[in-house]
Structure 1
Amino acid sequence: MRYPILIEEGSDTTAFGVVVPDLPGCFSAGDSLDEALDGAREAAAAWIDAALDAGMPVPSPTKLEDARRLSGYEGWTVGVVDLDQALFDDSIERVNITLPKRILRRLDDLAAARHQSRGAFIADLTMVTK
């Protein structure tokens, strides 16, 4: 999925700035354009991941023409950041993992103590470690 970005030109004394206007508060900066663009991609992915974790909707990308007309960004260059479609995929996938029986027993005991399935418990663990 491609989101429009707005790029503020850097110089010898200022960093390049990149804003993803469809994702409020999502921006990056870098000493080079490549660094700023890589940061924007990472920031957008983190923004979307956090929104999905919080149960918030992810805004659809606006058209480039609309991004060009945003007030406050006159003179900025318009581009796009390409995000992996898998970022938006919350579908369930069955996985096969291998664990020693003693570890699996501990995992199941911890899940049972929380009245959760093994899968739900593992999913909750990944949310806590962010």
Structure 2
Amino acid sequence: MRYPCVIEPGDETHAFGVIFPDCPGCYSGGDTLEEALNNAPEALAGWMEDMIDEGFPINPPSSFDEVAKNPEYKSWIFAMVDVDLDKLSDKTERINICLPSRVLRRLDNLARKNNENRSSYIASLVMSASA
């Protein structure tokens, strides 16, 4: 999905600042316009992942024209940034892993103590470790 961003022009002493009008608090930047544009997709994807983790909805993107008409961004640069929403999906996927029997017994015991199954317990561990 493509999201509009606006870039505040930089110069020799100021970085180029990137904001996403549809994503409050999402910003990026770079010392050059090229660097700012290269950094923008990672900032947008990271912001979206944080919002999903916190249970907040992701706003749909505004049209490019809608953002460009905003007088607040009169002398700014406009661009569109792609984000792969499939990478942010919570759709479950079946995987096949091999674990030693001893580890599998521990996993089952820990999952049972937490009223979870193997899959949800492993997912909980990964999410808490990456927080």
Pair in the same fold by TM > 0.5: yes
Q: How far, CA to CA, are the matches of 1:26 and 1:104 in structure 2?
A: 41
Change (3 A) 1:34 1:102: farther
The aligned residue for residue 75 of structure 1 is 75
Report deviation, 1:63: 0.2
Opposite residue 99 of structure 1, the aligned amino acid is L
- 3-state DSSP of counterpart to 1:22: coil
Task: Give how far 1:88 is off.
Answer: 3.9
Post-superposition offset of 1:52: 1.4
- The residue type paired with residue 14 of structure 1 is H
TM-fit CA distance, 1:90: 1.9
Q: Gaps (5+ residues) in structure 2? A: none
Report if aligned partners of 1:111, 1:118 keep a CA contact under 8 Å in 2: yes
SS across alignment from 1:99: coil
Deviation at 1:18, TM superposition (A): 0.7
Number of aligned residue pairs: 130
Match of 1:87 in 2: 87
The equivalent of 2:99 in structure 1 is 99
Percent identical pairs in the alignment equals 45
Which whole-Å deviations, capped at 9, do the CAs of 1:32-69 have from their partners, x for residues lacking one? 22322232211111111112122221110000011112
SS of the residue 2:72 aligns to: coil
Q: TM-score normalised to the size of structure 1?
A: 0.91
Task: Give unpaired runs (5+ residues) of structure 1.
Answer: none
Aligned residue for 1:21, secondary structure, equals coil
Corresponding letter in the other structure for 2:72: G
Amino acid at match of 2:57: P
TM superposition shift of 1:87: 3.2
Instruction: Give secondary structure in 1 for the equivalent of 2:73.
Output: coil
The list of structure 1 runs, each at least 4 consecutive aligned residues, that deviate by more than 3 angstroms after superposition, is none
SS at match of 1:72: helix
Query: What's the RMSD between the two structures over aligned residues?
Result: 1.4
In the alignment, what sits opposite 1:47? 47
What letter corresponds to residue 73 of structure 1 in structure 2? Y
Distance 1:105 1:8 in 2: 56
TM-score (norm 2): 0.91
